[in-house]
């Protein structure tokens, strides 16, 4: 067994709450007592939290990776991999941990520390793969030590398969949902929960059934095709905590196009001076993300916001183009075709872009509003 002081510990931080609370830094510092720590972010919205907390030198956010991919990447140069997160409940925390462990499929000790569910879980693959008591002793020993050190419960969960595939039909089951929460797929709201379990069913890439939630047809219509097996599915807010945003300085050029994929904003608009965003929630979330890069948005909205996040900011100088209800996608489509010519980037200033969109909207336009102060 490797001496504790020589262990290479890979840490995957997931979600903004564990960062906003200060828990991520405290846990990383504690883990340094066990060996050499290398921490990366797994997921998207945590990047904003890392920037707000000025932790880019502690948690790497250079590349966007799903948590399972981050775990797999870390396993190559680590003796132990640890997931840090802060779920809204123990049930949702365990569901997340066990799902990610299966997708990662690593043969190294894998431990989850969940400050929301207040537990440490041994997620080591050999433990999942067998019903016997022949488990990875090192993984369990590390989990037990951490649970004792941190005053958390030690768990050895048995995973539930929440993704069921039969031919071209995929079913995803979410547990621990709070009735009333919004259900989103890849950032698009498709319904509101009415029970503690929600099942989404897709056939041939099209969502055909939603159980445990009242559907939002407009949202379902926006998802023309979705890989439900790999999709990011959430219940509730994408960032539950409220912190002071750390606004960046922009030296970019030109405009980027973002259509109903707000969580891709870092990659989609990096290096741009402005981003054209389509949809109320897309504009709100992309605007919040891009403010950290100093990038303004020209947002096409129709007032149909679902408020996937509690507290959002938007960069002064951003311009909101409000059109008649149900027409934001139509005006956005026109802008994509006539202004961007089908491209993702063009050379144009924010005022000129807003004027072109206003012209395209024509009689559908209700309001053009320039943001003159931070709306956080």
Higher pLDDT: 355 or 373? It is: 355
CA distances from 21 to 10, 38, 368 (A): 21, 20, 37
Higher pLDDT: 43 or 374? It is: 43
- Beta strands 188-193 and 80-85 are unpaired
Kindly report the backbone phi and psi dihedral angles of residue 160, in degrees, each rounded to the nearest multiple of 5, phi listed first: -105, 135
pLDDT tens string 321-361: 999 998 999 999 999 999 999 999 999 999 999 999 999 99
Instruction: Report the C-alpha gap between 226 and 16 in whole angstroms.
Output: 25
Alpha-carbon Rg for the chain in angstroms: 22
pLDDT at position 132: 46
Q: For the chain, what is the mean pLDDT?
A: 89
pLDDT at position 264: 84
Mean pLDDT along residues 210-233: 89
Is it the case that residue 213 has pLDDT exceeding 50?
yes
Mean pLDDT along residues 233-240: 84
What band does 117 get if pLDDT is binned at 50, 70 and 90?
A: very high
What band does 224 get if pLDDT is binned at 50, 70 and 90?
A: confident
Is it the case that residue 375 has pLDDT exceeding 50?
no
Instruction: Report the C-alpha gap between 189 and 183 in whole angstroms.
Output: 6
Looking at the chain, the whole-number percentage of residues with pLDDT higher than 70 is 93
pLDDT at position 256: 97
Q: Which of 87, 265, 247 is CA-nearest to residue 178? A: 87
CA distances from 244 to 54, 282, 292 (A): 11, 21, 11
Tokens of 325: 């209800």
Instruction: Report the C-alpha gap between 147 and 42 in whole angstroms.
Output: 22
Cα 113 → chain centroid: 19
Is it the case that residue 261 has pLDDT exceeding 80?
no
Is it the case that residue 155 has pLDDT exceeding 90?
yes
Q: Which of 56, 49, 67 is CA-nearest to residue 289? A: 49
Backbone torsion region of residue 100, taken as left when φ is above 0, otherwise alpha when ψ lies between -120 and 50, otherwise beta: alpha
pLDDT tens string 14-32: 999 999 999 999 999 999 9
What band does 362 get if pLDDT is binned at 50, 70 and 90?
A: very high
pLDDT at position 71: 94
Confirm whether pTM is higher than 0.75: yes
pLDDT at position 328: 93
Kindly report the backbone phi and psi dihedral angles of residue 189, in degrees, each rounded to the nearest multiple of 5, phi listed first: -75, 125
Triad 96, 20, 307: Cα angle to 5°: 70
Is it the case that residue 126 has pLDDT exceeding 70?
no
Q: E strands, the chain, where?
A: 7-14, 35-42, 80-85, 110-114, 119-122, 153-155, 163-166, 169-174, 182-185, 188-193, 198-203, 206-211, 213-215, 233-235, 255-259, 274-278, 296-301, 319-323, 345-346, 365-370
Tokens of 129: 């793969």
pLDDT tens string 62-72: 877 889 999 99
Mean pLDDT along residues 91-100: 91
What band does 241 get if pLDDT is binned at 50, 70 and 90?
A: confident
4-155: CATH topology is Rossmann fold (3.40.50)
DSSP 255: E
- So where are the chain's domains? 4-155, 163-235, 255-370
Instruction: Report the C-alpha gap between 108 and 128 in whole angstroms.
Output: 13
pLDDT at position 372: 82
What band does 1 get if pLDDT is binned at 50, 70 and 90?
A: very low
Mean pLDDT along residues 67-87: 94
Is it the case that residue 4 has pLDDT exceeding 90?
no
pLDDT at position 136: 65
- Farthest CA pair distance, the chain: 72
SS3 60: strand
Is it the case that residue 128 has pLDDT exceeding 70?
no
């Amino acid at each position: 067994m490797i001496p504790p002081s020589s262990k290479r510990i890979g840490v995957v931080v997931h979600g903004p709450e564990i960062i906003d609370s200060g828990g991520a830094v405290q846990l990383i510092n504690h883990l340094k007592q066990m060996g050499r720590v290398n921490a990366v972010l797994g997921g998207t919205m945590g990047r904003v939290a890392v920037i707000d907390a000025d932790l880019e030198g502690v948690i790497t956010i250079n590349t966007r990776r799903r948590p399972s991919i981050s775990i797999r990447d870390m396993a190559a140069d680590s003796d132990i991999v640890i997931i840090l997160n802060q779920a809204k409940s123990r049930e949702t925390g365990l569901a997340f941990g066990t799902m990610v462990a299966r997708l990662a499929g690593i043969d190294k000790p894998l431990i989850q520390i969940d400050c929301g569910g207040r537990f440490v879980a041994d997620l080591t693959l050999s433990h999942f793969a067998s019903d016997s008591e022949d488990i990875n002793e090192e993984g369990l020993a590390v989990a037990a030590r951490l649970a004792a050190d941190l005053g958390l419960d030690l768990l050895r969960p048995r995973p539930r398969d929440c993704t069921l595939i039969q031919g071209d039909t995929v079913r995803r089951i979410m547990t621990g949902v709070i009735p009333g929460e919004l259900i989103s797929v890849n950032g698009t709201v498709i319904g509101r929960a009415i029970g503690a379990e929600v099942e989404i069913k897709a056939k041939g890439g099209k969502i055909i059934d939603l159980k445990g939630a009242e559907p939002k047809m407009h949202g379902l219509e926006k998802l023309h095709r979705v890989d439900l097996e790999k999709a990011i599915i959430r219940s509730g807010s994408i960032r539950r905590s409220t912190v002071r945003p750390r606004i960046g300085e922009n030296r970019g050029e030109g405009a980027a196009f973002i259509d109903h994929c707000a969580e891709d904003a870092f990659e989609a608009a990096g290096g741009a001076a402005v981003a054209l965003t389509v949809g109320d929630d897309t504009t709100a979330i992309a605007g919040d993300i891009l403010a950290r890069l100093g990038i303004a948005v020209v947002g096409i909205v129709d007032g149909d916001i679902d408020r996937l996040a509690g507290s959002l900011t938007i960069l002064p100088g951003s311009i909101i183009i409000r059109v008649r209800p149900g027409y934001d996608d139509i005006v956005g489509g026109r802008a994509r075709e006539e202004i961007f010519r089908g491209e993702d980037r063009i050379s144009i200033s924010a005022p000129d872009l807003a004027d072109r969109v206003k012209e395209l909207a024509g009689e559908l336009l209700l309001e053009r509003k320039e943001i003159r102060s931070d709306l956080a």
